[in-house]
Amino acid sequence: MASWLLTALASIFVFGLVIFIHELGHFLTAKFSGITVQEFAIGMGPTLFRFQRKETTYAIRLLPIGGFVSMEGEDEESDDEGSFTKAPVGNRILVTVAGACMNMILGFVVLIAVVAMQSSIVSRTVAEFYPNASTEQHGLQVGDTILAVNGRRCFVANDVSYEFARTQEGTADLTVLRDGEKITLEDVVFDTAEQDGQQYLVIDFKVYPIEKTIPNVLKEAGNWTLSLARMIVLSFTDLLTGRIAVNNLSGPVGIVSAIGQASSLGLQPLLLLLSLITINLGIFNLLPIPALDGGRLVFLILEAIRRKPIPQKYEIAVNAAGFVLLIGLMMFATFNDITKLLP
């Protein structure tokens, strides 16, 4: 019972904060641009609480799975001076991307806390090798700082592990910084192990810690933000190319399950997952999919290029189709989550 309660509270906190920050970005930039905001709501479904201030209704709704900022003229024709369509196209682009930008900022802020809670910052500089280390035998040396694996830059130490996990051939090309000079070590051989039917490379060396100063914490948090953002983009790419099977796609049920597991491990794992979720939401919302911010952004960019808006009826029709697609995708992901929970 206690674990279910902890999972529920942690999930409400994570979803609520991520959604609030996202919608707050839209809300603040809309107000800044002189656009009339009719409602600022957290959650979906029936209204639990609301109050009115000037022209805006502020509401909390029953289901903590979304939120919205309803603006005058956003989805219908309006001659009101505060209409969304009356604002300059640059301002409308700013309003559209602001939610995703706020999610990225939240991720960075949360990662500052995560890094600050660590006893030390993990570097990418080799400190020592385990006995009979294969990487040492193939050119890696103590003092080498790993800059890239297979040509892909490593922002944090976790990137090294992530790239090794993606490499199944048993070898990798490493770009390292040695005595102030960049060099490439080709076909470095690693020992491999197998887990869940897949092979992965074994890291056979230790790395130096980095002193935990305020500048280093901020730098590491920034690098972690870039690392997670790229990891999310690579995951989308792997899903589209078939590297990751579609049955691995997770929806709200899977996310709640992950939040429950993270919260049981402590505050730091929960905050790390929170940063991953908020950065993921920011990136996903900017994908050029109708009904998402990225879909609206496409229409606004076309308007800026053409110097005249796309007829609103076409945008509404495309967004409606996109909404149906997203509902179908969510249902599929939820089905995947439920089947994983079944014995």
Catalytic residues: 23
Q: Quick check: helix, strand or coil at residue 218?
A: helix
Distance of alpha carbon 233 from alpha carbon 91, whole angstroms: 27
Q: Which of 330, 292, 269 is nearest to 110 (CA)?
A: 269
Q: Quick check: helix, strand or coil at residue 17?
A: helix
Question: What is the signed CA dihedral for 301, 305, 311, 316, rounded to 10 degrees?
Answer: -10
Distance of alpha carbon 224 from alpha carbon 230, whole angstroms: 10
Sequence-distant (6+) residues with CB within 8 A of 32 are none
Task: Give CA 261 to chain center in angstroms.
Answer: 19
Residue type, 144: D
Q: Looking up tokens 């289901």, which residue turns up?
A: 63
And the tokens for 91?
A: 């301002």
DSSP assigned state of 74:
S
Q: Looking up tokens 């030390």, which residue turns up?
A: 120
Sign (positive or negative) of CA dihedral 272, 278, 283, 288: positive
